[in-house]
Structure 1
Amino acid sequence: MGILIRLVITAVSLWISTLLVSGITVETDSVPKKIGTLLAVAVIFGIVNAVLRPIIKVVGCGLYVLTLGLIALVVNGLLFLLTSWIADQLDLPFHVDGFWSAVLGALIVGVVSWLLNMLVPDGDD
């Protein structure tokens, strides 16, 4: 159940990023298709982050220390662009136009997800 809640939170965060960043779009008019697309992209984003983020952190540990963690913004943006590319390969109507849109979108997704996760109780409370 927790995984489904996190999936919905990520999808809502992606939706908010499409509203706030002009370079991030979901190009469908149908609300059910938009919801399905956002859920599918949330799954892709979760898999990309789960698989690649630990590898990147280990390999780029020195850069994280050297830049005081600011390289994480670049890494998040690149992972967001990768998610957009994978969604495009799967014919999902989710697009990120450019690096800066990706960085800003990933930052918004991260902050909104964090806020929503703070509001949703987990099993430990």
Structure 2
Amino acid sequence: MDLLIAWLVTAISLLIIAQLPIGVEIDNFGKALVAAIVFGILNAVIKPILVVLTIPLTILTLGLFLFVVNAIVFGLAAALVQGFRLRYGFWSAIFGSVFLSIVNSLLLNIVKSAT
């Protein structure tokens, strides 16, 4: 049940950030659902590998390189899902991943406090 809620909240979060002027574009709710699944799978599989491979850069930048790792995962999801685009490339991925984290956290807190 928690996985289903997280999936729906992530899809809604993606639709919300698509309304911001940061260059993230999603065609419809169906595409947002697919993008949320792909994003979740990439976060579970690819992100840990990238984090381990970039430990020296992460330490050197005091953790700021994790923003780049998150943007890479966000960009990969956009590349894999038709109907999910990043108009300004890497910068849209950076801002999209940051705003997705913020909006997703806020919505998950609202949903968890309502249950």
- Give the TM-score normalised by the residue count of structure 2: 0.90
Give yes or no for contact 1:21–1:104 (8 Å, CA) kept in 2.
Answer: no
- Partner amino acid for 1:114? S
Give yes or no for contact 2:22–2:95 (8 Å, CA) kept in 1.
Answer: no
Give yes or no for contact 1:9–1:116 (8 Å, CA) kept in 2.
Answer: yes
Give yes or no for contact 2:22–2:96 (8 Å, CA) kept in 1.
Answer: no
**Structure 1 runs not aligned, ≥5 long:** 28-33
Shift of 1:22: 4.2
Structure of larger gyration radius? 1
- Counterpart of 1:63 in structure 2 is 57
Count of residues in correspondence between the two structures: 113
Shift of 1:119: 2.3
Give yes or no for contact 1:18–1:25 (8 Å, CA) kept in 2.
Answer: yes
Identical-residue share of aligned pairs (%): 39
- Counterpart of 2:93 in structure 1 is 102
Alpha-carbon distance between aligned partners in 1 of 2:33 and 2:61, rounded to the nearest angstrom: 33
Give the alignment of 1:74-113 within 5 angstroms: 74-87=68-81, 92-97=82-87, 98-113=89-104
Give yes or no for contact 2:86–2:93 (8 Å, CA) kept in 1.
Answer: yes
Alpha-carbon distance between aligned partners in 1 of 2:112 and 2:68, rounded to the nearest angstrom: 30
Q: Is 1:39–2:33 an aligned residue pair?
A: yes
**Structure 2 runs not aligned, ≥5 long:** none
State the Cα RMSD in Å. Answer: 1.7
Correspondence for 1:51 among 45, 55, 61: 45
